[in-house]
Structure 1
Amino acid sequence: MTIRKMHADDWPEVARIYAEGIATGIATFETAVPEYTSWDQGHLPYGRLVATSGETLQGWAALSPVSGRCVYGGVAEVSVYVSARSRGMGVGLKLMQQLIADSEREGIWTLQSGIFPENTPSIRLHEKCGFRFLGIRKRIARRDGIWKDNVLYERRSEIVGVD
């Protein structure tokens, strides 16, 4: 498995894996994959990764800004998606480990995630990578007309913003 920077021409496979995650009903509040331009504008220019094995794209990870306010410039939200055929093979872990390293190189001091409580593989991944449980946002939004909770996790860098 190789982890590398995501390129715009990876989008068809990234979108396919994103659609698989959406279809689970427990990965995101999104119900459709956006157009690349919209997705691109909503994510930071760094921290965009793909995992590949040969020619096969196995998963992707990306960072989104949490706010446009400069005081939150070192805080980013994590997205990690693994292809259905590659789940349980350590792809998410490798993506997350590289995402953490890349985020710290870019000066990010806090990574955060909102996870559906039912998404236990994602919760385990975050905990394995040093994220801590913050709390639950009860009935924070609807997905397919059903109120959903969101479990909040964060990881504070031990090397960025420690002064």
Structure 2
Amino acid sequence: MTAPPTVRAATREDRSAIAAIYNAALAERASTFETRPRTPEDIDAWLGKRHPVLVAEENGSVIAYASTSAYSPRECYAGIADFSIYVAPRARGRDVGRHLMEVLLKEAEAAGFHKLTSRVFATNVRSRALLGRLGFREVGVHEKHASLDGVWHDVVVVEKLLLANVR
């Protein structure tokens, strides 16, 4: 068993690695409806705000990232964050995602969020299993949520309460 990766806040220096990891997932067509590759400049908009963005690093190389973003622009939902997590193909199957998500949960709680939520392709059984082990609840299914390359996909809505911030 190898040591867990180092997890830390993402910086501007990580932008290219984050974009490359996302673009690898985009090419696989199994976890995002987006079709436009991301550039390092696209990642700039994610950094330095209330919403945590983390990277997992191994031997000085970024091998995964997790990001949070606003669930809704409405003020009443300010305590909820959407999240995404992507692991580089070379780092999958080694518990990198679990380590990264454990830190993301702590960082989101420290940032004052009371809930994390996301939508996961229904066919993405590995991600769904990981999130289940971390205490995420599958809320329901959005049927035919979006079309990707002419094929409709269902997504499973997941959520987890961050109890320290539920008052």
TM-score by length of 1: 0.93
Percent identity of paired positions between Structure 1 and Structure 2: 32
Is 1:8 matched up with 2:12? yes
Asked if the contact 1:43–1:63 (Cα under 8 Å) also holds between the matched residues in 2, the reply is no
Structure 1 position 39, deviation (Å): 3.8
In the alignment, what sits opposite 1:143? 148
Asked whether the 8 Å contact 2:142–2:156 carries over to 1, the reply is yes
Question: Partner residue of 2:26?
Answer: 22
Could you give the per-residue CA deviations for residues 71-100 of structure 1, whole angstroms, max 9, x where no partner exists? 111101111000100001111001100000
1:111-158: CA deviation from partner (whole Å, max 9, x where unpaired): 001000111111011111110011100011111121111111100112
Which is further off, 99-108 or 144-153? 144-153
1:97 partner amino acid: E
> 1:90 is matched by which residue type in structure 2?
D
Q: What RMSD over aligned residues (CA atoms) do the two structures have, in Å?
A: 1.5
Unaligned runs of 5+ in 1: none
Partners of 1:70 and 1:49 in 2: CA distance: 24
Which sits farther off after the overlay, 43-52 or 59-68? Answer: 43-52
Q: Which residue of 2 aligns with 1:70?
A: 75
Mapping 1:1-163, distance limit 5 Å: 1-41=5-45, 45=49, 46-161=51-166, 163=167
Q: Distance in 1 between matches of 2:57 and 2:46?
A: 23
SS of residue in 2 equivalent to 1:159: helix
> Aligned partners of 2:151 and 2:43: how far apart in 1?
25
TM-score by length of 2: 0.91
- Residues 44, 136 of structure 1: alpha-carbon distance in 2 compared, 3 angstrom cutoff: farther
More moved, 96-105 vs 37-46: 37-46
State the aligned residue count. 162
Contact 2:63 2:88 in 1 (8 A): yes
